[in-house]
Amino acid sequence: MATYVLVHGAWHGAWCWQRVTPLLEAAGHRVETVDLPGHGDNPAPASEMTLDANAATVADRVSAADGPVVLVGHSMGGISITQAAERVPERISTLAYVCAFLPGDGQSLPQLADGDPIGLVLPNLIVDEAAGLCTVAEPALRDVFYNTCTAEDAAWASAQLVPESLAATGAPVSITEERAGSVPRVYLECVHDHAIGIDKQREMWAARPCSKVVTLEADHSPFLSATPVLAAELLALAP
């Protein structure tokens, strides 16, 4: 029996995993879904929405979990789980990146996202410098995040998105190969992703080699558009 700790990406919350969770639990595993600061049931002002706070939140949940932990990050959640792994590498059996940013030491999300001709986030980003927050233009949400989801699922998810922190988005990770780098990595790439293009995903996992790469016929939200397949691939990672 393993514990899965599931970490959402930018603008989302723990709610995005609600269809995956029962499938993992039905196989006998424990599941913890994390709301990062300023998301879901974890309210926080923009000043407290930082990479350090995200990493601490994730690391605390990993430390409190029973048994070996499969730590899963979606999208920007890849940044959070990478930094958290620097804190508690001994508690994590696998880092699983679901169409996620996969940074090396000193890399930030903007650096990793740069030069992605498919990615639709930056062209549709609305930045509020004074508030320290950003959002994605509402008319673009389905095409960016949910392009192979049903219209109903896309509308449901879009309605729950919240502003994201500029500070957390822009911060570089600080990791070592001895700690975060020592944890086995798996990448689950999504070929129909419009937020992080498939070529960009492959560029990242080529730069940070993974023990396993899984290809999903899914958009940026496989927890909605390919739920059973995603759950099955995560179950295959149980130690």
Span 72-80, average pLDDT: 98
Contact between 191 and 218 (Cβ < 8 Å): yes
- Residues 121-152 have pLDDT tens digits of 999 999 999 999 999 999 999 999 999 999 99
Percent share of the chain, pLDDT over 70: 100
- Residues 89-105 have pLDDT tens digits of 999 999 999 999 999 99
Given a cut of 90, whether residue 204 has pLDDT beyond it is yes
Residue 42 has what DSSP assignment? Answer: B
Average pLDDT, the chain: 98
- Residues 159-176 have pLDDT tens digits of 999 999 999 999 999 999
User: Which of 90, 83, 92 has its CA nearest to residue 32?
Assistant: 92
The pLDDT value recorded for residue 67 is 87
- Report the distance separating Cα 14 and Cα 32, nearest Å: 9
Structure tokens at 187: 């990448």
Single pTM value for the model:
0.98
User: Which of 50, 64, 70, 49 has its CA nearest to residue 7?
Assistant: 70
Question: What region does 107 belong to: left with phi over 0, alpha with psi -120 to 50, or beta?
Answer: beta
- Residues 43-68 have pLDDT tens digits of 999 999 999 999 999 999 999 999 89
Helix (H) and strand (E) counts in the chain: 10, 9
| Burial (CB count within 10 angstroms: exposed 0-12, middle 13-18, buried 19+), residue 197 | buried
Question: What region does 33 belong to: left with phi over 0, alpha with psi -120 to 50, or beta?
Answer: beta
- Report the distance separating Cα 96 and Cα 31, nearest Å: 14
pLDDT band at 194 (very low <50, low <70, confident <90, very high): very high
Strand ranges for the chain from DSSP E: 3-7, 30-34, 69-74, 92-98, 125-128, 133-136, 164-165, 185-190, 212-216
Give the list of residues 6+ apart from residue 80 with CB closer than 8 angstroms, or none. Answer: 7, 36, 51, 54, 55, 57, 58, 73
